[in-house]
Amino acid sequence: MNQEDKFKNVISHAKEYGFVFPSSEIYDGLSAVYDYGQLGAELKKNIRDHWWKNMVQMHENIVGIDAAIFMHPTTWKASGHVDAFNDPLIDNKDSKKRYRADVLIEDHIAKIESKIDKEVTKAEKRFGESFDPVMYKETNPRVKGYVDRIKVIEERMKRCLEAEDLEDLKQLIIDEEIVDPISGSRNWTDVRQFNLMFSTEMGSTAEGASKIYLRPETAQGIFVNFLNVQKTGRMKIPFGIAQTGKAFRNEIVARQFIFRMREFEQMEMQFFVKPGTEMEWYAYWKNERMQWHLDLGMPEESYRFHDHIKLAHYANAAADIEFKFPFGFKELEGIHSRTDFDLKQHEEHSGKKLQYFDPEENKNYVPYVVETSIGLDRMFLAILSQAYEEEKLEDGTERTVLRIPAKLAPYKVAILPLLKKDGLPDKAREVINGLKGAFMCQYDEKDAIGRRYRRQDAIGTPYAVTIDHQTLEDDTVTIRERDTMEQKRVHIKELSGILHENIGA
């Protein structure tokens, strides 16, 4: 199955089993807005809880807050979002489709990169074991031509974005002969800036109402509370403040299912450090966050770092953790060294000091900040697309299985009475009652046992426990493991221990 088909299947599977629905579907949905169903809400909650546990519970010097979505409008003036949270937008006059100019150029670069990959793979086959891909890229004239061309395009794009030279950004699209992916046309409008923040009004009368924004990131709720938390929590630098919550962006190009949404959830942590130590902490958090993903059992080859070419207005270093989604490597998480930009801006706009008294240095300063920021919905998509597998079994049959990391799975265990009679359902209820205080359990008595196993595989339940006639005699059950499909007979008393040990929640 190719990746495009796989992605389509992941989306329809997510809907069919109650993970993700289009928002207000009975009215034909709302573009780039989604609802999480009964299983999606569980998976999302488990990802969020796992992140919170890792960041807050496991770090004595990180605490969590829950700031409001609405903030004083000056917050967004201070943070730079009113003036600079823009995307360069371009329309194709023939297809009437709207694009981000920088994304069109990045997609064009990705096409050139795939030409390089093809050449390298071909040469690898030709030269065998002695092949050195690095040397090949530096010396093969055709490949070197591609590499040099990418460098020129990237540098020009960087200059255009930094200088806000929208005319030359359009010229770059024309010079590179970039066509509309839908119509194949090169009939482009000029490039214009488009602010991504949603606004609304607070107050009941037109005269008294004031324009406010739906937060485009959760981070500012942390910055404005920096001193509240530091003082009340008696926090000593270095320390972090974590937060999860909704953010809103009027994305120009919202596509790829829940990858780019207009309403989404972030899990962010701002780590406040002594000025001058920020690069050390930046390297530390890059490594820590990558390890968090790998510790979930996600494959190393599905991840890579991408250092930013264009730094956001607040950063002096930034990298993405990219994940190999079915549509290619894309940003999953950002690690940013945000300097003292935000706190200083808030000091200036509020007239209040946001400084830390360092008892070791015996002086006040505005701390520097290293941020880790991950989209919860993107992590959900990464987990789901990695987990989804259509597996051919030895007996020639097929099953669809979600190999979701056990600690994140919506249900941890299914309890299945073999038959709907002979007292087996009552015994099954007894087993569920003993487990449900600690684990999300699902009871299922409908259909043949094989079909019930398939249903649990399809929603990623790591364990299924079957209650049969022998259970009534000796209190033993069979426990089946989702990935290996192996079954073993154990005593009911052992179940809780087995689940605790293997799920590690």
Residues that bind ligand GAP (CB under 6 A): 217, 219, 249, 251, 260-261, 264, 266, 268, 331-334, 371, 373-375, 377-378
How far apart are the C-alpha atoms of 401 and 361, rounded to whole Å? 57
Task: Spell out the residues 6+ positions from residue 313 whose beta carbon is closer than 8 angstroms to its own.
Answer: 80, 84, 341
Six-digit token pair at 289? 């966050």
Of the two residues 35 and 251, which places its CB atom closer to ligand GAP in the complex?
Answer: 251
* Residues sharing a CB contact under 8 Å with residue 74, sequence separation 6 or more, in sequence order: 349, 350
Q: Calculate the alpha carbon distances from 303 to 114, 323, 332, 407 in Å.
A: 18, 5, 9, 21
Closest listed residue to residue 460, CA positions, set 22, 44, 48, 17 = 17
Least separation in angstroms between residue 436's CB and ligand GAP is 33
Residue 268 C-beta: closest distance to ligand GAP, Å: 6
Of the candidates 142, 217, 231, the residue with the CA atom closest to the CA atom of residue 375: 217
DSSP string, 118-163: HHHHHHHHHHGGG--HHHHHHH-HHHHHHHHHHHHHHHHHHHHHHH
Q: Min. distance of Cβ 376 from ligand GAP in angstroms?
A: 8
Q: Which is nearer to ligand GAP, 219 or 298 (CB)?
A: 219
Q: Which is nearer to ligand GAP, 318 or 406 (CB)?
A: 318
3-class state of residue 427 by DSSP: helix
Please, what is the minimum distance in Å from the beta carbon of residue 92 to ligand GAP? 22
Smallest gap from residue 475 Cβ to ligand GAP (A): 47
User: Toward ligand GAP, which CB reaches closer, 315 or 406?
Assistant: 315
Complex with ligand GAP: residue 143 or 376, whichever CB lies closer: 376
- Let me know: does 56 contact 427? Beta carbons within 8 Å: no
User: Is residue 467 within 8 Å of 417, Cβ to Cβ?
Assistant: yes
Give the residue nearest to ligand GAP (CB): 375
Q: How far is the CB of 211 from ligand GAP (least distance, A)?
A: 22
Cα separation of 502 and 484, whole Å?
A: 14
Q: Which is nearer to ligand GAP, 375 or 405 (CB)?
A: 375
Q: What is the rounded CA–CA span in Å between residue 446 and residue 45? A: 28
**Minimum CB distance to ligand GAP, residue 371 (Å):** 6
Cβ–Cβ under 8 Å, residues 469 and 447: no
Comparing CB distances to ligand GAP, the nearer of 124 and 331 is: 331
Q: Please identify, using beta-carbon distances, which residue of 342 and 444 lies nearer to ligand GAP.
A: 342
The answer to whether residues 399 and 393 touch, using CB atoms and an 8 Å cutoff, is: yes
Minimum distance from CB of 375 to ligand GAP (Å)? 3
